C-alpha cells in the first residue's frame, strides 16, 4: 500500500510494477487506486476510459459481494518472485552509466485558480478573442520558460554545494529559463480516426513580438491603475489592442497546428508512419538520430511533453494524471494535466533535467525535489497571474473626466 500524499510519479517508482510490454499494474494508496498503464497499449484518453470502466465495475462488484455469505478458506500461498544475479548485474550497470535515463523527480500541484482562468476566457471572448483552456496553459508555459528563475532560497542552497557539483547544477538551472520550449502536444484523434487514437504535434511559439507586447500591456495596466489619467489610458488602450492582436494570432496558430494534425499531415505523423513501415532492424537506428541532434529532436519529438487530457465527465472518479515519454534521453520535462469533475485542475511534472542524476547520486534528492516543486509552482503561478492580468485588461474602461 502506497502513500497517497506523494506525487503520482513517486508512488509509481516506489512500487513493484510491470514495465515494457506489461500493460497494467494496479497500485493501492488506502483511499484511492492508481492505474499504471503502459503507453504501448494506452494513450491518455483511452487509459482514462479504462480506469473509469474498471472503477465502476469494482464498485458494482462490491455491492454484489457484500450480499454473499462469507466462507472460511485457507489463505493462499504467496508467489515468491526471485531476482536472478544476471538481472542484478544488468541493473547495476545501468545505474552506474553516465547517461542513465531513469533518474527523475516528480512534483504536482492543484493550485490553479480555475475561476480566474474561466473568468479570463469569458471576458476575452467579449473582446473577440477565443482561447481554450489548453491555449492559455500553453501560453503560460511559453512565458514561464522564458522568465523562470529559481527562488533565492534554493539558489543559496545550490551555492553551498561542492564546486564540481555546483557548476553543472547551476548550468542546468540556467538552461531551465530564458528559452522558447518545443512542446510535444498529443491531440486526441479518436473522433476523427479512432484507429489512430492520437496525433502528436510539436509546437514552438513563432510569434516573437508577443513577449514585448505582454510586458508593455502589464506595465501600462499597472501605470493606469496607480495613476489613472488620459495619458495613462491612451497608453493602456494602445498596448491592450496590440497585445490582444498577438493573443488572437497565438490562438489561431495553435488551431492551425491542430487542424493539420487532425488531418494526419503533420511532420511528426509523417515521420512516425515512415519509421513504422520500415523493418525492425532499421527502426531503432533511425529513432536514435534525433536524440543526437538537438535541433532535429526539437522539430520531430520536442523537448518536453505537454499533455492536457481536459476535464473528466460528470461523476468521474479520476483526479490525477501522469503522462509518459519515449525511451530517449532528450526530454527535460513531462507535463500531465487533468481537471476533475469538481473543476480542480491538477498539474503533474516529471523532471529529467541534467542536475537530477547528479544531485541524486550525490545524496541530494531532497534538493532535486525542492527544485521540481519550485518549477511546477512557478508555472501554476504564471497561469494564475496571466489569467488575472488578462481579466483586468479586458475589463479596463476609460473614465470620463471633467475638469
**In this structure, which topology does domain 98-395 adopt according to CATH?**
Chloramphenicol Acetyltransferase (3.30.559)
Q: Which residues of 222-260 are buried (b: 16+ CB within 10 A; e: fewer)?
A: ebbeeeeeeebbebbeebbebbbebbbebbeebeebbeb
Please work out, in degrees rounded to the nearest 5, the angle formed at the alpha carbon of residue 151 by the alpha carbons of 150 and 156. 95
Partner residues linked to 348 by β-bridges: 108, 336
All residues at 6 or more sequence positions from 393 whose CB lies less than 8 Å from its CB, including other chains: 217, 221, 236, 240, 243, 244
Low pLDDT (below 50) residues in the chain: 275, 282-283, 286, 289-290, 292-293, 296-297, 299, 400-403
Q: What is the pTM of this model?
A: 0.83
pLDDT at 52: 87
Taking the alpha carbons at both ends of the chain, their separation in whole angstroms is 72
Cα 232 from Cα 334, distance rounded (Å):
42
Cα 357 from Cα 364, distance rounded (Å):
10
Partner residues linked to 106 by β-bridges: 350
Grid cell 512500487 in the structure block, residue = 15
Domain parsing of the chain, residue ranges: 1-61+87-97, 98-395
Q: What is the pLDDT of residues 179-224, one digit of tens each?
A: 999 999 988 766 666 666 677 888 899 998 999 999 999 999 999 9
pLDDT at 338: 96
Query: For residue 353, what are the CA distances in angstroms to 87, 197, 359?
Result: 27, 29, 11
Cα 298 from Cα 184, distance rounded (Å):
9
Task: State the burial class of residue 163 (Cβ atoms within 10 Å of its Cβ: 0-12, 13-18, 19+).
Answer: exposed
pLDDT at 300: 52
Q: What is the pLDDT of residues 301-343, one digit of tens each?
A: 678 999 999 999 888 889 999 998 876 677 899 999 999 999 9
Amino acid at each position: 500500500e502506497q502513500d497517497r500524499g506523494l506525487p503520482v510519479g513517486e508512488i509509481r517508482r516506489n512500487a513493484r510494477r510491470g514495465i515494457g510490454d506489461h500493460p497494467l499494474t494496479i497500485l493501492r494508496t488506502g483511499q484511492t487506486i492508481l492505474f499504471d498503464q503502459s503507453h504501448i497499449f494506452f494513450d491518455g484518453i483511452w487509459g482514462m476510459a479504462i480506469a473509469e470502466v474498471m472503477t465502476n465495475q469494482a464498485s458494482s462488484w462490491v455491492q454484489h459481494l457484500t450480499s454473499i455469505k462469507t466462507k472460511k478458506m485457507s489463505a493462499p500461498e504467496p508467489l515468491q518472485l526471485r531476482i536472478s544475479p544476471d538481472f542484478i548485474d544488468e541493473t547495476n550497470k545501468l545505474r552506474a552509466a553516465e547517461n542513465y535515463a531513469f533518474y527523475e523527480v516528480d512534483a504536482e500541484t492543484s493550485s490553479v485558480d480555475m475561476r480566474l482562468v474561466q473568468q479570463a476566457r469569458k471576458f476575452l471572448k467579449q473582446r473577440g478573442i477565443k482561447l481554450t483552456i489548453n491555449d492559455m496553459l500553453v501560453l503560460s508555459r511559453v512565458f514561464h520558460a522564458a522568465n523562470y528563475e529559481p527562488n533565492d532560497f534554493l539558489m543559496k542552497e545550490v551555492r553551498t554545494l561542492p564546486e564540481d557539483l555546483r557548476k553543472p547544477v547551476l548550468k542546468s538551472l540556467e538552461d531551465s529559463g530564458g528559452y522558447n520550449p518545443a512542446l510535444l502536444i498529443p491531440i486526441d484523434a479518436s473522433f476523427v480516426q479512432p484507429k489512430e487514437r492520437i496525433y502528436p504535434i510539436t509546437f514552438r511559439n513563432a510569434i516573437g513580438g508577443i513577449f514585448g507586447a505582454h510586458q508593455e500591456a502589464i506595465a501600462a495596466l499597472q501605470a493606469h491603475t496607480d495613476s489613472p489619467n488620459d495619458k495613462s489610458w491612451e497608453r493602456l488602450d494602445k498596448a491592450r489592442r496590440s497585445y490582444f492582436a498577438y493573443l488572437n494570432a497565438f490562438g489561431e496558430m495553435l488551431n492551425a497546428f491542430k487542424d493539420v494534425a487532425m488531418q494526419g499531415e503533420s511532420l511528426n505523423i509523417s515521420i512516425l508512419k515512415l519509421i513504422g513501415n520500415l523493418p525492425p532492424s532499421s527502426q531503432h537506428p533511425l529513432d536514435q538520430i534525433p536524440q543526437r541532434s538537438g535541433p532535429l529532436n526539437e522539430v520531430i519529438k520536442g523537448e518536453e511533453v505537454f499533455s492536457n487530457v481536459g476535464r473528466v465527465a460528470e461523476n468521474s472518479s479520476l483526479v490525477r494524471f501522469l503522462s509518459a515519454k519515449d525511451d530517449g534521453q532528450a526530454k527535460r520535462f513531462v507535463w500531465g494535466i487533468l481537471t476533475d469533475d469538481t473543476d480542480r485542475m491538477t498539474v503533474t511534472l516529471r523532471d529529467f533535467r541534467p542536475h537530477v542524476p547528479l544531485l541524486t547520486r550525490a545524496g541530494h534528492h531532497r534538493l532535486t525535489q525542492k527544485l521540481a516543486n519550485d518549477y511546477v509552482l512557478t508555472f501554476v503561478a504564471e497561469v494564475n497571474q496571466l489569467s488575472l492580468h488578462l481579466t483586468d485588461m479586458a475589463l479596463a474602461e476609460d473614465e470620463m473626466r471633467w475638469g
